[in-house]
Structure 1
Amino acid sequence: MATPFLIAYDPSTPTSGLSLKQIAYFSRVLIKPSNLAQAEHFLRQNFRLLDVVVDATDLPSAGDLVDVLNAGAVKILISLDQLTALSTEQSVPSSRLLVYATSDAQLNSLEQWISANASERDSVCVTTEPAAVSAAAAQLKIPADAQRIYATHNSGNVSEDVIKQTMQSGAIAILPSQILTVERNVADKISAADLLASRLVTDQANGLYATSVTDERGSCLGAVWSSHESIAEALRTGTGVYQSRKRGLWYKGQSSGDVQELIRIGFDCDADCFCHLGTESCFGASAGLSRLQKTLQARKADAPAGSYTARLFNEPKLVEAKIMEEAEELCRANTKEEIAFEAADLLYFALTKCTAAGVSLEDIERNLDLKSLKVKRRKGDAKGPWAEKAGLTESKPAPAPAKPEPAVEEDRTTRLEMKRVVTATTAPEVVNEYLKRPSQKSNDAIVSLVKPIVEDVRVNGDAAVLKYTHKFEKATSLTSPVIQAPYPPELMQLTPDVQEALDVSIGNIRRFHAAQKGGNEDLTMETMPGVVCSRFSRAIERVGLYIPGGTAVLPSTAMMLGVPAMVAGCKKIVLASPPRSDGSISPEIVYVAHKVGAESIVLAGGAQAVAAMAYGTQSISKVDKILGPGNQFVTAAKMLVSNDTSAGVSIDMPAGPSEVLVIADKTANPAFVASDLLSQAEHGVDSQVILIAVGLAESELRAIEDQVDKQAKALPRMDIVRGSLEHSVTFAVRDITEAMTLSNAYAPEHLILQVENAEAVVEAVQNAGSVFIGPWTPESVGDYSAGVNHSLPTYGYAKQYSGVNLGSFLKHITSSNLTPDGLMGLSKTVETLAALEGLDAHKRAISIRVAQIQQNGA
């Protein structure tokens, strides 16, 4: 049972009262968030530390209240109006509700609600003023010792005696954190230890408190005695302090070092450590797996109608499928939060299967204990198909890298040193200024100079390039801005040493990068004896995912972007999507955000959403990369911020309105072709669809056009389709070679091949976002469920960009690790190139190490 007071804590404002860790000693906390996001963030951060009661009286909708409960609040404090809304719209156990009723009129209304919902009488809780506790208990027929009445004490003039009177009456006192202390004799503060002691029952023989000491999971570590003084010391020090009947205060572990950390203090049912109710435990209900097992056993015996667990018991194949699904998701999980989330799902379904077969946790634990006693064990390798799926292969352990030789500092007459910034004593904004690169500090001035040059080159081509080359590089004799291959030998006159150095370097770089063609796997290779280069991947930490709204709800895009971000292990995922006119957002998008562990959803679209994620605001997190399709304004904003060095953000690609190119020959089904064209035309009036008809007769072309007309008129989004078709086109071509030339020049977002022997035609595809091969592969499967990603380059950018994939959320870091022999073998090459470029410090970094190696060898 929790302590007889509830501490109110403001998570956004530092206080002079108890810290959050100290509040955790008393089991629970009351917070009043400013919005739903703040509540959910606090619950995520502190779920294991505290039982959190959320003052939700300022949250606007019943859905928000349910979201807070789903996020882990043990109770929510609500108004009578909110209680009515929940009763009408949602099914919420009244044991999770704390109803705010301070006046006689409010108590009368609450009594009427309880009378109308008689089954809730034994679980509903109420908060009122201290003076109204007895009247509220009598009116609502709540037993005095039930701890279901809460009394709010303000920080202005509250006294210790008033608080104790509230607790003695059987109510729970709500106390501001600012008025409490765990220290001794603090003026104008109330001792939390004194409040605890006022409700404890002493042993009649020795005047001490019987105390049961447990670990974090509730396993009993021992029974001891406590006193008022030992409790005060335990709270002050945050450690286990007890009362020895012979030696006085006993600081556990003071001599042995086996100190106990204080996590929380709780009471049993009558505050004397000995239960008289016949329940399993007075120190809180079962938790974790024990609670799950009891719930499953109850569901098996008598499941409520519509219970998902009951369905699982009746469909064993579903349980098996869910176990395999969750096991695979657990294997893919990377972060601590993801692993815990997926492991919980797996344990739920595994324990459901066990319960259905009559297997208990105790049976499982006995098997674990039995296996721990085995002396002879199997090797424990994964079995064939599972080992192959996980990519387990026989490999020799990599040699330990050689410890690099210490650099030799050069003696200089004049001391040169870098500016030192101590972050602990430096304002964050000053630290950020030092973090900026030089170009960032003058970014606006540079952009103002560069933009007219870029525009001039865009309009005037070679002439503009030459003009600026003449102006800035003083190369006035140039008549062409480019040199075409093959290059004249006279332009490559090198000394033998320089040529050798270049050849060695190019060879090493080529070998290392050629080895990277395998994908995103980590890589280590020796480019030459003693020179080990490696590449390893890391997830981009913070990603912003733009989910278009516009004329259609697109949770599919949320999946296509959110899932690979989650799989990659991005630490922070931010979604942005335009809200509806009433300020709400598609629940499907919210659900996807939940499933992928997104930190937040930005309720905005267009350039403003892109800018918010790029730069961050007071409430929106800044991201490192922005991904996702959008209209011309979104695309322009993405390009703009990606070119702003002060934003420090990259983008996936310039993805704009959707487009499709279908190549069809005589074997194509006209209805299939028309449906594929319309599947993209319905996205928006700015979408474009292209048909390339290969060798079709007039009647065959007419058949496709008739199908387009027929199917379009049957669509609810016909007006949008009409707008798209106004700037769409069909190309009739002679053969597949001409078709592929056109397609590669257009570089479509989606390319559909409805032609004979379509697999062979794929060899001719040079530019496309994603290819759909044959009559049974509509673009729709790629948009939703086939597994490929539908966030693809448009506007012809498929010539330069890939569609979103796992690599879009990863970055690769390279490393070099040389042995002394490796450095000796490479020293001449590097020194030659450094001297060639006039970079003496580069050369010296080699030569001082070579000298040290030679000295050690001598």
Structure 2
Amino acid sequence: MLVPKIAPSAAPTPALQRAVGLLPVALFADPQQAVAASDCSHAAAWADVASVSDIRALLDTGVSIAVLPAAQLPADGCDGVDATRTALRYTAADIDAQGLRPVLEAAQTAGIQRAAAVVLELSSAQLADATACGAAGEASPLARLARAASAKLVGSTGPVRVLVDLHADGWTLDDLARVAAAGADAIIAVEQLALDADATPTQLPLAAAFVAASGLMSDRPDGLFTTVVVDEQHVCLGVVYSNAASIAAALGTGQGVYWSRKRGLWHKGLTSGATQTLLGVAVDCDSDVLSFRVRQDGAGFCHHSTRTCFGPAAGISRLAQTVAERRDSAPEGSYTKRLFDDAALLRAKLLEEASELAAATDRAEVAFEAADLLYFAMVKCAAHGVTLADIERSLDRKHLKVTRRPGNAKPQFVDAASEAAPVRTSILSSDIRPALPGEQIRMRVFADGGLSASERAALLQRPLIDSAEIMRRVRPIVDAVRANGDAAVLELTEKFDRVRMQQVVLRAPFDVPALPAAVRAAIDQAYANVHAFHAAQLDPPTCVETMPGVKCSRFSRAIERVGLYVPGGSAVLPSSALMLGVPAQVAGCREIVLATPPRADGSIVPEVLYVAHKVGATAIVMAGGAQAIAAMAYGTESVPKVDKICGPGNQYVTAAKMLAQNDTAAMVAIDMPAGPSEVLVIADATSNPAYVASDLLSQAEHGPDSQVVLLAVGLDDAQLAAIEAQVHAQAERLPRVDIVRQSIPKSYCLRVATMADAMAFSNAYAPEHLILHNDRAAGYVDDVVNAGSVFVGPYSPESCGDYASGTNHTLPTYGFSRMYSGVNTATFLKHITSQELTREGLANIGQTVMTLAEVEELEAHRNAVAIRLRDM
């Protein structure tokens, strides 16, 4: 077995980190890393500990085995922790001080009696000595230790294991093979591993190292390894074959990839959509059979569209599969659909069946009532997106705990008259968990026809924001800046951004650093397109003679001083600077103040600085968050006060904008309220699944709270599965996959019957971005009532509007597109009206004005006209 060792300083690529997480065991030098890994990896997490006192608390967190220096183990063992949860490490210092052979003998006589595993820290020379066979063919010392260990069973966890940690030198494939031949396992630093295509001369290809360290062998003439494929419940789906090339491809992609005797490299489901997410790879006890644990998508593993090659699923697995299918597309009138629609009924049935099981006495009755309870429990789980694998993972984690509660029943259940607590019924429950590495990254799926009115309304809602709590945090920041000016901005920037600044503002002209030619050209092209589109929005003055002698006019004037907020944080956003700065420049604003957080060295992102130069910004406030908004709203010693603030930002930026707008002392306007970024994609059978998935993900990577909605118009299960497979496959390749693992599970797909249904839902949802993903997209633009910006057809990705097509990407979110427009040239203009009446005009309209003034009893108004008419 190959055991990757991960030190705190190790920084494997996301792809390599995912791949090593597929191996059965990972060893962590930092216990806290092991705790985190035990939450998000299918591999068993082992952790090095310094002393016995660290073990109990560590094992309670889900870590499988604590690795303790052998010298630290008391004679009576670990208090309250049996041998199945500890391993003993014989350190390099132990071996150097006592000699290799005495330590091996100590491990054989005492170590394997007191622990589930022993770890030997060896140098290359010591490894050669430990694996050298005797002159008469006698087994090597390491083999003798491994043989003695394998004969010592540790409860139900199997034999004691022997592991070699090559501490001073790098491993070779030959070293790994020698250790495997001796019956031991190899611990290898993750820095010495790489995915096969990425391996350097100093690194070992992961697949080759896995094969060598496992001692994997084949008894077939073609050298292929028999591979048993099992699902999350370890139910066998079928038997296939693997070789070194297919193992490398499987570990590299995180998918089920095998070797077909007819076709060669075989990526399961690549054409049918029945792909497999790889959850774990293991070798059997005789090192001649591989096991691939997978999450099976699509119709099933078998080419006959059954879940397994041995027929359909059965028992609890079949129940879980059926209930999950009913959640997405329950037939009208079915009992399961009724349970999904009626949370109160489901709750009542759970309580009823639990009481009936508690009252059951004979064997048949207990089995019957337990089956009923399991059915309703699985419906409850499916309603909340909980799978059978989630339940099993929770059971496994509970099994790893070493401290136990007394287990007494709660008082309300001791006293049957007490009423149970109410149950959450929202289908947008806030406790949806992120996808774990190796799990399918997928949206929740609902069928429009199966939703109650309240559930449909819930899907139209955005996540609730505790505005009172946010305002409570933001108000002191705003008050501090208002009272203390630049000093407060500098102090808050150091506190929140951890950057100590000497000044708050940069004044034009800016010292713009050189940019790569391609970046500069891209910004120039985007600037030209955005400028052209926004310049076309300038309206000529309006002049209308409403009646003879009465001329009314309307003309625009630029807002003189505007503040533009360009977020920083997890992404560099010169595009936001363009989208705000260009329309302000086109409108003719006299003073353009741009605010953006500084980098760690106190400088401004060069791309943003270049855009500020192009749009004619007069000043840059080197601060972010609520303090930047307050500085522009009220002004400081160096920050000019502005008349209007525009730009996106997090909930604290939005709260600061709202506070300033409502404070008459600030006398400042804002562009619009804002919430998390969002997209709604409408797809039908003519849509390209890869394109649809890419647009969903381009929104999902913004942040964990990004709102992503897919309306699937008339798609069958296979067509929807193709989109889901693309979402997962593309997401796994993204640098920001950890964000996507949080945002996509919170998102949802709604299956609707027609485009009319889709457009009705979209207009009710009022998305920031609306993407019409079908071959007749232009024909539906007239049906759009509420949206920030519309992307028409398969070749109009949201990315183009975000960057360079010309339209603005600062758009209303959170449903505000019902009443707000996105940022445009008019955002930076105010419109003034005028009227000019001739003598004839006043004579024509005068009596009307005087009559209305008399009705309102405003005599001075009537007199202002009458006095002129008398002179006529």
TM range (shorter): 0.3 to 0.5
TM-score by length of 2: 0.40
Answer 1 or 2: higher relative contact order, Cα 8 Å, separation at least 6.
Answer: 2
TM-score by length of 1: 0.40
